[in-house]
Structure 1
Amino acid sequence: MSSSLAAIIGGAAGAITLLGIIVLSIWFCLFRNRSISRNSENGSSDPSLQAGRNVGTELSLRGGVPSPNPLEARYFMLEDISLATKNFSDINLIGVGKFGEVYKALLNDGVIVAIKKRFAAPSQEFIKEVKISYQVFYLSSIRHRHVVSLLGYCQENGQQMLVSEYIPNGSVSSHIYGASQLSGEKLEFKNRLSIALGAATGLAHLHALNPPLLHKDFRTANVLVDENFIAKVADAGLKNLLARIDTAGPSFQMVDDDIFLDPEVRDFGGRFSEKSDVYSFGVFLLELVSGREASRSQISESDQSVVEWVQNYRDTSDISVIVDRRLGTSFTTEGMKEFIQLTAQCVNPSSERRPAMNYVVSELDRIREKEMSLTTVMGEGTPTVTLGSHLFTALR
């Protein structure tokens, strides 16, 4: 009897122990899944990786405060930026944009960045807009091959700065009609198509965000190319930022003769839309194919601008009037006509008749593939591009 009772008690104790182990196992799994879920919202299941992403210290106007959100843009100390730019030396000055002077900088971790700097009174609004508004539009978290990444910001000593990815080969405008243009040389049509396709892909990606991010200042100078001439869209969202943080009005104003600006916005006070960016992209295509600055270009001896010429373009028109003479015979007539037709669609005065950027991407891809197959010499191979660049081929 006693042995039976002992067996019963032993069995009950074992069952209770087993039940306890099961409960603890379930609790551990639930806790672990919750932890992974929280980290997965930020793109990683490894907490150590999340901590590593938020390098640097997040500051408010009153002092140092750790950033609660790893996806926020990184705060850079002015001391570090000054060291990285050699105290904003003229040697490191690479241009002047809508936000202000642009410097090339080498961070202490070996990363090369571009720093936009302007003088402005300290403003909590600036920090809020960069941290929140840029985050709403996902700008500080966008990592796309054809979009220049925003890395961080700084506000100290009456200066406001934006830190971005550095693109070594400059803007497309400098290569087709600017300071980097080499006399007597050309950028072949298929290479210009590749640049156009990359820029279109970047702009289409911005439009596909939820909510869509409108560039509002897309122009040839805001399309940069890296050492391999991969195109990247720059300054996305910058116009929105400046409009919000400048109490006295935007740092740059729209001008009546801004050739890149949607005429429905410029002339009739309409609202910006994705189709406004498409119009600007069309003018970019126009400059690519003509090799000239659209705002200063005219056709023949008439007063007709190149934009007006493209808007009135018909299949029977003489494309040699508009095509960059430096292109020589590096293109097919059919491919060039299709490119000009697409450009004409983009700069249609009516926004309703302009295509969406996804359509533009697919058309440019199709035209480029056709041109590559018809104009690439057998055994030509892919050239290695260096700064300067080997994409430019001397006219024969």
Structure 2
Amino acid sequence: MSRTLAAIVGGAAGAVALVGILLLICCFCIFRKRSISTTSDTGSSDPSVQVGKNAGVELTSQDARRFHIEELSLATKVFSDKSLIGQGKFGEVYKGLLHDGMLVAIKRRSAVPSQEFVDEVRYLSSIQHRNLVSLLGYCQENDQQILVYEYIPNGSVSIHLYGGDHVTQEKLEFKHRLSIALGAAKGLAHLHSLSPRLIHKDFKTANVLVDENFIAKVADAGLRNFLGRFEVAGPSSRVAADEIFLAPEVREFRRFSEKSDAYSFGIFLLELVSGHEAMDLLSSELNVNIVEWVENYQESGNISAIIDPRLGNSFTREGMEEFMQLTVRCVDSSSEKRPTMSYVVMELDRILEKEMSLTTIMGEGTPVVTLGSQLFRASK
């Protein structure tokens, strides 16, 4: 009797244990399924990896929104001249207001629809970084190809450097220009860090935009991939202006690389520090390339003559010297001697940090302006 009772009790205990184990297995499977679902929806289990919203549609690292022509037509008032804000290599550029209140930049051209276009948009829209202008989506209807980007309110750095009185004097101080340069360098460095790396191929001052907080964002990354050919139709003056930013090996051999981007970045730095548009120097009585222009002043020991007078004395001699040395390295005719963009980021970050601390400690207006041959002289 006792043996029978013990067997019954033991069997019951075993059954309870088995049920408990089965329940644990079921809970684990349900939890894992939810976890996988969250990861596939956002590209990560971390919700911070979600990269943007547009018209109530959550955009992940794999998504590019397909817009309808009716919505974009309404956003631009039927692509009216009043909405037209520019003309680029890809085509006309419009400012648009979507029905959800979001401002966008819309680039439009006539072209036959293609799957390659969609694939390229999906790839480029997956690239997200604080210092890159985000490609939100596309439209292919009525024999038109349209790209939709986030709208950057303060426009390009070009406008603030030589486009008139569009910015307050404070924003032109050396440390602000350093901050803009650092942001743009981070954007390019991110492109180069991708696998496979993405070469910008069309980096120039006009493609560095600043938002309402003057944070720099690099525009048109990968846009050349849509063009098909290196030579593009358009006004000859614009083509000539773009050529100034191209490295020697690109102009001669059409050989793009991360080092050709570094050269273009160097031209951007020269415009940033001088306040001069490279194209103006070429088309002026001087008829000189901006790199040659700097080299001439360097040889004569009067490099301070290229520094934008609007900078006043808002910089230290050491900071300007290091900035110019880095700039000259970027525009070296030998691609092998140019620094990588990751190195440029590191150097600009160091120069900016030092410049901020020195000008804060010494007070605005105290830093000494570098004169003559003191520039480019190696620190001992």
The TM-score with structure 2 as length reference comes to 0.82
Partner residue, 2:373: none
- Indicate if the aligned counterparts of 2:54 and 2:102 stay in contact, CA closer than 8 A: no
Q: Tell me, in whole angstroms, the C-alpha distance in 2 between the residues paired with 1:17 and 1:112.
A: 62
1:157 aligns with 2:142: yes
**How does 1:220-235 map onto structure 2 within 5 Å?**
220-235=205-220
- Indicate if the aligned counterparts of 1:54 and 1:70 stay in contact, CA closer than 8 A: no
Partner residue, 2:43: 43
Partner residue, 2:337: 353
Query: Which one is further off, 180-189 or 15-24?
Result: 180-189
Partner residue, 2:4: 5
Amino acid of the structure 1 residue aligned with 2:25: I
Q: Tell me, in whole angstroms, the C-alpha distance in 2 between the residues paired with 1:183 and 1:71.
A: 40
Q: Tell me, in whole angstroms, the C-alpha distance in 2 between the residues paired with 1:182 and 1:226.
A: 12
The one of 329, 339, 342 aligned to 2:313: 329
Once the two structures are TM-superposed, the CA of residue 285 in structure 1 deviates from its matched residue by 0.3
SS at match of 1:113: strand
Residue-pair matches, total:
358
Once the two structures are TM-superposed, the CA of residue 115 in structure 1 deviates from its matched residue by 1.2
CA deviation digits over 1:313-367, x for unaligned, max 9?
7597212321122222222333222211111100000000000111111211222
Once the two structures are TM-superposed, the CA of residue 304 in structure 1 deviates from its matched residue by 4.0
Query: Which one is further off, 144-153 or 320-329?
Result: 320-329
SS at match of 2:227: helix
Task: Summarize the Cα distance change of 1:316–1:140 in structure 2 as closer, same or farther, 3 Å threshold.
Answer: same
CA deviation digits over 1:14-64, x for unaligned, max 9?
3124213313422431343244135325434499x98x969779xxxxxxx
Amino acid of the structure 2 residue aligned with 1:331: F
CA deviation digits over 1:127-182, x for unaligned, max 9?
23323xx2xxxx31333221111111111112111111110000001111125657
Identical-pair percentage: 62
Q: Tell me, in whole angstroms, the C-alpha distance in 2 between the residues paired with 1:321 and 1:300.
A: 17
1:74 aligns with 2:44: no
1:104 aligns with 2:92: no
**How does 1:301-320 map onto structure 2 within 5 Å?**
303-311=287-295, 314=298, 317-320=301-304
CA deviation digits over 1:243-263, x for unaligned, max 9?
2xx7x9866799577110010
- Indicate if the aligned counterparts of 1:310 and 1:340 stay in contact, CA closer than 8 A: no
Amino acid of the structure 2 residue aligned with 1:365: D
Amino acid of the structure 2 residue aligned with 1:32: F
Amino acid of the structure 1 residue aligned with 2:247: D
1:370 aligns with 2:369: no
SS at match of 2:244: coil
Alpha-carbon RMSD across the aligned residues, in angstroms, is 3.5
Which consecutive residues of structure 1, in runs of 5 or more, have no partner in the other structure? 58-66, 381-396
Partner residue, 1:293: 277
Task: Summarize the Cα distance change of 1:196–1:54 in structure 2 as closer, same or farther, 3 Å threshold.
Answer: closer
CA deviation digits over 1:361-392, x for unaligned, max 9?
12112222232233348788xxxxxxxxxxxx
Task: Summarize the Cα distance change of 1:260–1:379 in structure 2 as closer, same or farther, 3 Å threshold.
Answer: closer
Amino acid of the structure 2 residue aligned with 1:108: H
The TM-score with structure 1 as length reference comes to 0.79
Partner residue, 2:370: none
SS at match of 1:349: coil
1:92 aligns with 2:83: yes
Once the two structures are TM-superposed, the CA of residue 114 in structure 1 deviates from its matched residue by 1.3
Partner residue, 1:142: 127
Query: Which one is further off, 253-262 or 276-285?
Result: 253-262
- Indicate if the aligned counterparts of 2:271 and 2:277 stay in contact, CA closer than 8 A: yes
Partner residue, 2:371: none
Once the two structures are TM-superposed, the CA of residue 224 in structure 1 deviates from its matched residue by 0.2
Partner residue, 2:258: 274
1:21 aligns with 2:20: yes
Q: Tell me, in whole angstroms, the C-alpha distance in 1 between the residues paired with 2:46 and 2:298.
A: 58
Which consecutive residues of structure 2, in runs of 5 or more, have no partner in the other structure? 365-380
SS at match of 1:297: helix
Amino acid of the structure 2 residue aligned with 1:78: I
Q: Tell me, in whole angstroms, the C-alpha distance in 2 between the residues paired with 1:299 and 1:82.
A: 39
Amino acid of the structure 2 residue aligned with 1:94: I
Q: Tell me, in whole angstroms, the C-alpha distance in 2 between the residues paired with 1:38 and 1:272.
A: 40
1:125 aligns with 2:116: yes
Query: Which one is further off, 35-44 or 90-99?
Result: 35-44
